[in-house]
Structure 1
Amino acid sequence: MSLLFPTTSRSRQWRRSRRSHLVPIMTGGLLAATALALVAYLLWPTWQSRRAGDPDRIPVSVGATLFNVPTHAFRRKVQKHSGPQERVDLSYLYPSLEASDVPTHVSIENFDETQQPIDRIFLSITAHHEAMSPEARLRTVYPRYDDQLMPVQDGLTTRPFRDASPYSQEDLFLGEAPALVARCTRDARTPGMCLSERRIGGADLVFRFPRAWLEQWREVGNAMDALTLQLSGPKR
């Protein structure tokens, strides 16, 4: 019996020593696991947002001018990135002005039978590289080719272009409050379309919409003003 006591005593001391070494190891492991869990919790929303979809807006620089473009407004996937670009092509549902990259589908049954109405306002933003401004074109170029003024209807003035001019088969429309300048093709086999330009910094904004919308030209003018403000921010 006396020979067993030292052995038993040494075993107990060894177990106590082992426990004393395990305690800091286990404590350190617990702290590390807690830290990892905290980091994972803080980063989880970021991972989720990146997987869920694109950010709401993408900053794009055109002609060294910054625009905040809604992600779903891009018409071309190759342009759907931040940074400097020479041109971006966008579209918005009208009159809601919601950005939607879902194309309008035409079925085989009605492709040849009906004319599909356009429910979007199209916008191209391009670097102008010091080309003539829309204001200068209105002041110096268009008067060379337009014809007599037509009667004003609902505050909108029509100035037809002469047939032999570079703008043959087009009309110029001018409105105030809101200010609107639109050059529109005339209705033929296809409905007429309008083009309205404005310049911001180093970029030109070119809006396109159906000529038929001019029946509510003030709403169209306000829509273009609203989109310009959304993209570029308030004027300083």
Structure 2
Amino acid sequence: MTVFSATSPRSPRTHTRAHLVPVVLGGVFAASAIALVAYLLWPTWGAGGANAPDKLPVSVGGTLFNLPAAAIRMRIQRHSGPQERIDLDFLYPSLESPGAPKHVTADGVDATMQPIDRIFLSIAAHHDALAPEQRVGTIFPRYLDQAAATPQEGLTMRMFRSDTPYGSEDLFSGASPALTARCTRDASTPGMCLSERRVGGADLTFRFPRSWLSQWRDVAEAMDRLTVQLRGPSG
């Protein structure tokens, strides 16, 4: 007697479904793993650059400086790496980086004019031009009046002759601490001073109001501190 089995063979569709289940489960696990890795590696800074570095390593004339980003005056210069020139300003006498500039309307500009409260600094590659101390020692004496004055204790002032390229300026010099500054005279606008020094392949040019020379030693020490603070490792 022939015995027939009560079970029937699986249909091709059922067999295909059974093979797809492991494939689908594997795909789900793989997608979960990828999502987890992406979450762990996703940058945490915002689009606004809230965590931008406080200082930027900048090379000017092959000389490295560590510059406070907030002190850099031009947005286009706020990046690390080699630059031909960079412009900064610092509050005086604290030498802190200034905050955001205040917006002044045309109607209120006269009423809001305040004395300059910061020292300006430009760092530029000198490309082997004549050093600042050489100009003071060899070029400027040709144009200076022979008479000298002492407006402050320890500070000497000599006027440039009116028939020279520096006819509206005076040259100030002091020692301990060392200071040399070329200053315009007060006129419709307050006089300003330039003091230059060379650091490696770059020339540093400080600008500040002439009126600050009443405390010239404090100004000279502030420029010395800034020069040391901004200079990167020489190694």
State whether TM-score is above 0.5: yes
Q: Which consecutive residues of structure 2, in runs of 5 or more, have no partner in the other structure?
A: 1-6, 9-17
Task: Quote the Cα distance in structure 1 between the aligned partners of 2:101 and 2:199.
Answer: 28
The Cα of 1:136 is off from its aligned counterpart by: 0.4
Give the letter for the 1:94 counterpart.
Answer: Y
Task: Quote the Cα distance in structure 2 between the aligned partners of 1:165 and 1:130.
Answer: 25
Match of 1:100 in 2: 98
Q: Give the direction of change, closer, same or farther, for the CA distance of 1:168–1:36 in structure 2 (3 Å limit).
A: same
The Cα of 1:233 is off from its aligned counterpart by: 4.1
Q: Greater relative contact order: 1 or 2 (C-alpha under 8 angstroms, separation 6 or more)?
A: 2
Task: Quote the Cα distance in structure 2 between the aligned partners of 1:204 and 1:124.
Answer: 8
Q: Deviations over 1:175-231 (max 9, x none)?
A: 122211110000001000000000011110001011111111111111111111111
Task: Quote the Cα distance in structure 1 between the aligned partners of 2:112 and 2:70.
Answer: 28
The Cα of 1:41 is off from its aligned counterpart by: 5.1
Q: Where do residues 19-38 of structure 1 align in structure 2 (5 Å cutoff)?
A: none
Q: Deviations over 1:69-124 (max 9, x none)?
A: 11111111111111111111111111121113622443444423564311111111
Give the letter for the 2:52 counterpart.
Answer: D
Give the letter for the 1:158 counterpart.
Answer: M
Match of 2:86 in 1: 88
Higher percent of residues as helix: 1
CA RMSD of aligned residues (A): 3.2
TM-score, structure 2 as length reference: 0.79
Contact 1:123/1:208 (CA < 8 Å) preserved in 2? yes
Percent identity of equivalent pairs? 56
Q: Give the direction of change, closer, same or farther, for the CA distance of 1:77–1:212 in structure 2 (3 Å limit).
A: same
SS of 1:150's partner is: strand
Higher percent of residues as strand: 2
SS of 1:52's partner is: coil
The Cα of 1:55 is off from its aligned counterpart by: 0.8
Match of 2:188 in 1: 189
Contact 1:184/1:211 (CA < 8 Å) preserved in 2? yes
Contact 1:74/1:101 (CA < 8 Å) preserved in 2? no
Q: Give the direction of change, closer, same or farther, for the CA distance of 1:50–1:41 in structure 2 (3 Å limit).
A: farther
Q: Does 1:59 align with 2:95?
A: no
Q: Does 1:157 align with 2:136?
A: no
Contact 1:75/1:101 (CA < 8 Å) preserved in 2? no
Give the letter for the 1:76 counterpart.
Answer: M
